[in-house]
Amino acid sequence: MLLASIIIYLLLTILIGFWASRRVKTSGDYMLAGRSLPLMLSSAAMFATWFGSETVFGASSQFLEEGLYGVIEDPFGAALCLLLFGAFFARKLYNMNLLTLGDFFKIRFGKSTELTASLFLALPYIGYIAAQLVAMGLILNVVTGIEQWQCVLISAFVVTLYTYIGGMWAISITDFVQSILIILGLFVLAYIMSQKAGGVDVVMSKIPREDLRFLPSFNLQEILMYIAAWSVLGLGSIPSQDVFQRAMSSGSAKTAVRSCYFAAGLYLTIAMLPIFISVCTNQLYGDQIAGDKQLALPNMVLLHTTLPIQILFFGSLLSAIMSTASAAILAPASIFSENLVKPLLKHRLDDQHFLFLTRFSVLLFAAVATIMACIRSNIYELVGESSILSLVSLFIPLVLGLYWKRSSRTGAMVAMVGGMITWIIFEVLETAWPSLIPATLVSLVGMIVGSIGWPQNENEYDKSRVESIE
């Protein structure tokens, strides 16, 4: 019965994709839902950006191993990203009327910068998509017993199909439905598990005091690690196409800003539920938890709850992961088609051919990510790595490009390349210090020195559209 319910749910999701595809007439409809989403749909889409495998599986297992201090990166850093994006980026970027974040780098710094930035924007998504597919594969593996890699293939097929068909319209509508199911399912399960464990007060009183530590000790290395944990998603995911794409799909700049704030509050609240549920599970059935802690929560639900609760729980899990995975597939596909392939074509594409190119790109990125998902299985690491790449290469050029008039093409190029090379060097050296901190500092220095030393000429960018952000 549980398996049948999951199959029905997956089929319904695909049908929603087909229904939403009727609204897709242009590439703008496909990538940004025609920039027409109301606040409710826009907020649900922004919330669903983050509420995926890393929250349900990664953060809950991370808490069991390292306590609250181990989940600073997510959910706290992720919520910080949405707050900062709403406060400092959403309105300015919305007013520029961009199709992708790569377009910002083209307009602000020129075409050569667009190419480099788009590569750094698109490639990290492969690991992020893979993380979501791994999580869906874990769920299907627990329920069906089918080999993990086969479950990953099934997951990839479902998510890719409705994303390919309906684009951002399908993503936004399914996000709204899935968000309701996520919240309902997790609240019900949290209540049931807490009652089994003796109530919320009893559960909280049994958590070791050291597991609730939130601030670092007065030690330089630990403070830097703490800052790095906040920065991975808090800053690293600001220059990301999926956050940008969902915000830019809003019906107005005001809606884009407000949806970021609503989503941040909702995310931080709901993201506590999987952590709380995992604590209850550990207290009730700790002796039965062995092996991969990412599987602890679904295994215990399957063994110790009734069928209706199982259906609700696994339905909410699938909802969380699919909502994140679909946008993660569309994001790099949009950049690849708009900023990497389209500029290289000698003849100009009409909108229908460009729409076909974007859909083909969806298939391409989904296929590559599926291969990675079959090879690697640590969800938290896959997500963290993808965000770090964006932080060390793109965060500084985006921020200073928006808020410093003297930012130049040379400065942006030095910042992107210098930050990435520095991060690679420190990763190879395997120092005790977080590699993203020196890499981000190098990116900042490179941006300032390159911009002052080699100022940008007006003919290197679209002056009229740059003025719209000032």
In percent, how much of the chain has pLDDT > 70? Answer: 91
pLDDT on residue 296: 66
How is the chain split among helix, strand and coil, in percent rounded to 5? 85, 0, 15
Whether the per-residue pLDDT at 299 is higher than 80: the answer is: no
Q: What is the mean pLDDT of residues 228-250?
A: 91
User: In which region does residue 397 sit, left (phi positive, over 0), alpha (psi from -120 to 50) or beta (all else)?
Assistant: alpha
Band of residue 346 on the pLDDT scale cut at 50, 70, 90: low
Q: Residue 124 falls within a domain, yes or no? A: yes
Whether the CA torsion 125, 126, 129, 134 is positive or negative: it is negative
Whether the per-residue pLDDT at 267 is higher than 60: the answer is: yes
Q: Residue 137 falls within a domain, yes or no? A: yes
Band of residue 138 on the pLDDT scale cut at 50, 70, 90: confident
Do 183 and 172 contact (CB within 8 A), yes or no?
A: no
Instruction: Provide the number of structural domains found in the chain.
Output: 1
Neighbours of 297 (CB within 10 A): 26
Q: What is the mean pLDDT of residues 28-37?
A: 91
Q: Residue 269 falls within a domain, yes or no? A: yes
Print the domain residue range for 71: 2-395
The string of DSSP letters for 232-297 reads HHHTTTTT-HHHHHHHHTBSSHHHHHHHHHHHHHHHHHHTHHHHHHHHHHHHHHGGG--S-GGGHH
The predicted-structure confidence for 305-335, as pLDDT tens digits, reads as follows: 788 888 887 887 787 788 788 888 999 999 9
pLDDT on residue 377: 61
- CATH number of the domain to which 25 belongs: 1.20.1730.10
Q: Residue 404 falls within a domain, yes or no? A: no
Whether the per-residue pLDDT at 55 is higher than 80: the answer is: no
Angstrom distance (rounded) from CA 323 to CA 170: 10
By the 10 Å C-beta count (0-12 exposed, 13-18 middle, 19+ buried), 392 is classed as buried
- The pTM of this model reads 0.88
Task: Count Cβ neighbours within 10 Å for each residue of 136-165 and write b for 16 or more, e otherwise.
Answer: bbbbbbbbeeeeeeebbbbbbebbbbbbbb
Q: What is the mean pLDDT of residues 102-115?
A: 93
Whether the per-residue pLDDT at 384 is higher than 90: the answer is: no
Q: Residue 454 falls within a domain, yes or no? A: no
Question: DSSP state, 457?
Answer: P
Q: How far apart are the first and last CA of the chain?
A: 58
The predicted-structure confidence for 362-382, as pLDDT tens digits, reads as follows: 999 999 999 988 876 665 556
Q: Residue 88 falls within a domain, yes or no? A: yes
Q: Residue 58 falls within a domain, yes or no? A: yes
Q: What is the mean pLDDT of residues 412-421?
A: 96
Mean of the per-residue pLDDT values of the chain: 86
Give the closest residue to 358 by CA, choosing from 386, 330, 399, 378: 330
pLDDT on residue 239: 93
pLDDT on residue 461: 58
Q: Residue 330 falls within a domain, yes or no? A: yes
pLDDT on residue 380: 53
Angstrom distance (rounded) from CA 274 to CA 60: 6
